[in-house]
Amino acid sequence: MTKQMHLIGFYMHSPINHTALSWADPADERLAGMAGFDHWKRLARLLEKGCFDAAFFADTPGGFDRYRESIDDYVRYGVCWPCHDPLAVGSVMLAETQNLGLAVTLSTAGSHPYGTVRRLSTLDYLSGGRVGWNIVSGHLRGEHRALGLDQMDHDARYDQADEYMDICYALWNGIAPDAILADRERGIYADPAKVAVVDVEGEYYRCRAVPPVLPSAQGRPVLFQAGSSGRGQQFALKHADVIFAIQPGEAAMRGFVQKLDATSQAAGKAEAPRVTFGIQCVIGGTETEAKAQQKAMAERIPLDAALCRMSGTLGVDFSKLDPAHRLADSTTQASQGMLQALANMTGDGNATVADAARVFGASTGMPQIVGDPAQVAERLIQLWRESGCHGFNVTPASNLGSVESFVDEVVPLLQKAGVFRTEYAGKTMQQNLVG
């Protein structure tokens, strides 16, 4: 556990964030917000007002095509469709703020290292070092189909991603600190002897280039990773500054952090990566109001919409399984860590498909904290202290009302309790989030 809790807003650039059919809530502003910049500017200002470390965007390019081997429910219910590019609105959010960071999800399966470094580091340089990258190895079949690629097995994807990252590091580290001369009198911009030519002929990638972007104030983007399976966690330990995870409750969160600490020590690392857990807060004026809101959210979600998203994420067509089927008896080449977490949501490893669908539809597997502002703040503090985590990725129940409620009513209580900052420690994401 760190000295102070860290908070990251958790979103998607689609009709929903992590609650199916949230767009159908009359109070939700996302559908109109997708058609302009003002929604995202307002979100950025809210998060910076609340001293959030960053806005973190998940992404699902290609979409969910596993359920019934069809895209019908994905499109019918707007289950992350359409999926607009988060970098576009992220750029606007960075321009609107001075301290707020931006973390975006990009798949190593769907891009080339050179292009990724160029896109992310350009924004990192422009923003003064406020960009992070959530590295995913490409677990969505829909993304591979959209790009005309064959999907690799789970562990092979991480082997490929390791080579991908080696090229990224070479590009990030290829400009010496004194390479840029900018000598107007002589007309010399840089010393070529101090700019490396990256020349890689690997098993998966080839790249010959000089670094395309100057180092930012933090050097390179902050690296996030969500791998929680055996091979995924190896990758995360090697590369991540911050590991994002979804676990069903306090005991599972604590176990995740303890296991990561032990694995880090066994690997000879001086310090484990920071850990943030996904959470959804449902806030009402009273506990009764909050529970009524939670009930309305759940009742709005068709089972097919929940199963569509769960099938796409976990790589299993749940239309072929009995709702009473134990999730632990399923296997996947997609998100193995998420499958394990959902299977244990009942605490005994016996969660069924129906159990998981209810949770996945409402919050994509993230635990919900339901209550008035004081109850939500108290529970967040308890989870933070008992789990030993760095903080939380907080996804809203609706847009943007839930964010306003959290910033205006919960954040002041966390600050009063002395567990959350009242001002930013630095200017870069590395300074503010990682330390």
Domains defined for the chain, CATH in brackets: 6-173+208-284+365-434 (3.20.20.30)
Helix (H) or strand (E) segment spanning residue 258: helix 250-266
Largest CA distance in the chain: 76
d(CA 93, CA 98): 10
CB 365 within 8 A of CB 314: no
Asked if residue 52 has pLDDT above 80, the reply is yes
Segment 283-307, tens digit of pLDDT: 999 999 999 999 999 999 999 999 9
d(CA 414, CA 392): 13
CA dihedral 216, 217, 220, 222 (to 10 degrees): -130
What pLDDT score was predicted for residue 335?
57
Mean pLDDT of 239-262: 95
d(CA 421, CA 131): 20
Segment 119-156, tens digit of pLDDT: 999 999 999 999 999 999 988 999 999 999 998 998 99
CB 87 within 8 A of CB 123: yes
Segment 371-403, tens digit of pLDDT: 999 999 999 999 999 999 999 999 999 999 999
Range in 169-178, 227-236, 260-269, 372-381 with the lowest mean pLDDT = 227-236
What pLDDT score was predicted for residue 331?
66
Mean pLDDT of 169-195: 98
Task: Categorise residue 284: left if φ over 0, alpha if ψ from -120 to 50, beta otherwise.
Answer: beta
The total number of residues written for the chain in this structure = 435
Segment 55-104, tens digit of pLDDT: 999 999 999 999 999 999 999 999 999 999 999 999 999 999 999 999 99
Residue at token pair 């966390």: 414
First to last CA, the chain: 13
Asked if residue 334 has pLDDT above 60, the reply is no
d(CA 351, CA 326): 6
Range in 64-73, 313-322, 329-338, 363-372 with the lowest mean pLDDT = 329-338
Asked if residue 225 has pLDDT above 90, the reply is yes
What pLDDT score was predicted for residue 328?
76
Asked if residue 337 has pLDDT above 70, the reply is no
Q: Return the CA Rg of the chain.
A: 21
Helices and strands in the chain, H and E counts: 17, 13
What pLDDT score was predicted for residue 227?
75
Residue at token pair 């690799």: 152
The DSSP string of 160-224 is HHHHHHHHHHHHHT-B-TT-EEEETTTTEEE-GGGB--EEEE-SS-EEEE--SS--BTTBSPEEE
Structure tokens at 379: 């529970």
Mean pLDDT of 29-51: 98
Residue with the bigger pLDDT between 296 and 347: it is 296
The DSSP string of 340-362 is HHHHTTTSSS--BHHHHHHHHHH
Amino acid at 317: D
d(CA 139, CA 365): 17
DSSP assigned state of 34: T
Structure tokens at 213: 């972007």
Of the pLDDT bands very low, low, confident and very high (cuts 50, 70, 90), residue 14 is: very high
d(CA 164, CA 382): 39
d(CA 278, CA 226): 11
d(CA 267, CA 240): 14
Mean of all residue pLDDT scores within the chain = 94
SS3 of 71, please? coil
Instruction: Give residues with Cβ within 8 angstroms of 390, minimum separation 6.
Output: 1, 2, 6, 242, 274, 275, 276
| Backbone phi, psi, residue 336, to 5° | -70, -40
Asked if residue 20 has pLDDT above 60, the reply is yes
Helix ranges (DSSP H) in 81-153:
86-96, 113-126, 141-147
Structure tokens at 368: 């919900």
| Backbone phi, psi, residue 176, to 5° | -65, 150
Beta bridge partners of 280: 368, 395
